[in-house]
């Protein structure tokens, strides 16, 4: 039975999770950081809702202190403007079952699955599943290639020629509508408002850039073979 550490003050979710996991409960981020080195917790859950705070500062402290242990952040919202480093962020409304499913998804990453974690986003390359804003999106083979490139090179401007060569094996730039359509699909999955992208930005006349200045946790990072812009 997997061991889960949950930080909350009401006990509501902890009681429900005890049906599937061995659960340890603490009431503050400080207590969690003191306990982490002495335990073998597979996942940490921060219930910021029960603490009546967005919990983003606590989440950052936790990510600095728990190493590679996955973090789930139960965030009171609003979604727009939320800035959490957690592996999965859940916004109300949700149920204890959804938290449990999120824990199970993180536990399944251990093994042969190839996973790339970039800031608040995760893509399972083996299963072709993108996790963003607490939601799962199944990707086509071309989409998962494109997402992997963006997630492996956050903060870098990637030109259209590079993307067309890497994903579609062509350097023809006479018609890049296919690329633009695929970018729109990715925005629908990762953006709160796809019409006003906060993360996947268009660099006019050049290409696209994933606006994230965070380290990437990846099984394998893709080397760029063309000159980066």
Share of the chain above pLDDT 70, in %: 89
Which tokens belong to 93?
């409304």
User: Distance (Å, rounded) from C-alpha 227 to C-alpha 6?
Assistant: 45
Note the pLDDT of residue 110.
52
Mean pLDDT of 142-160: 91
Under 8 Å between Cβ of 221 and 152: yes
Q: What pLDDT does 147 receive?
A: 94
Q: Tokens at residue 7, please?
A: 């930080």
Query: For residue 25, what are the β-bridge partners?
Result: 6
Query: The pTM is what?
Result: 0.50
Cα 6 from chain centroid?
A: 19
Q: pLDDT averaged over the chain?
A: 83
Which residue is associated with the tokens 């990453």?
A: 109
For 145, the 3-state DSSP assignment is: helix
Task: Output 32 or 112, whichever has higher pLDDT.
Answer: 32
Question: Which pLDDT belongs to residue 67?
Answer: 73
Look at residue 75 in the predicted model and tell me its pLDDT: 92
Alpha carbon dihedral 160, 84, 75, 50, in 10-degree steps, equals 170
Whether the predicted pLDDT of 226 surpasses 70: no
For residue 142, which of 189, 113, 187, 178 has the smallest C-alpha distance? 178
Q: What is the mean pLDDT of residues 51-71?
A: 87
Q: Is the pLDDT of residue 11 over 80?
A: no
Helix (H) or strand (E) holding 190: helix 177-190
pLDDT at 218 over 60: no
User: Contact at 8 Å (CB) between 46 and 88?
Assistant: no
The confidence score (pLDDT) of residue 25 equals 92
């Amino acid at each position: 039975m997997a061991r889960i550490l949950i930080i909350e003050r009401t006990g509501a979710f902890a009681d429900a999770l005890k049906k599937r996991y061995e659960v340890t409960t603490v009431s503050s981020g400080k207590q969690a950081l003191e306990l982490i080195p002495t335990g073998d917790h597979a996942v940490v859950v921060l219930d910021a809702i029960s603490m009546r705070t967005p919990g983003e500062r606590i989440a950052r402290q936790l990510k600095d202190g728990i190493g590679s242990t996955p973090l789930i952040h139960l965030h009171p919202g609003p979604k727009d403007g939320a800035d959490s480093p957690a592996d999965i962020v859940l916004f109300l409304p949700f149920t204890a079952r959804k938290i449990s499913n999120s824990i199970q998804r993180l536990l399944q990453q251990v093994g042969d699955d190839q996973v790339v974690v970039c800031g608040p986003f995760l893509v399972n390359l083996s299963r072709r599943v993108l996790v963003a804003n607490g939601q799962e999106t199944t990707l086509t083979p071309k989409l998962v290639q494109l997402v992997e490139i963006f997630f492996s090179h956050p903060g870098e401007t990637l030109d259209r020629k590079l993307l067309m060569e890497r994903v579609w094996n062509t350097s023809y730039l006479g018609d890049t509508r296919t690329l633009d359509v695929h970018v729109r699909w990715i925005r629908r999955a990762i953006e709160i408002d796809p019409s006003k992208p906060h993360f996947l930005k268009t660099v006019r006349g050049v290409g696209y850039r994933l606006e994230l200045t965070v380290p990437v946790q990846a099984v394998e990072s893709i080397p760029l073979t063309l000159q980066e812009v």
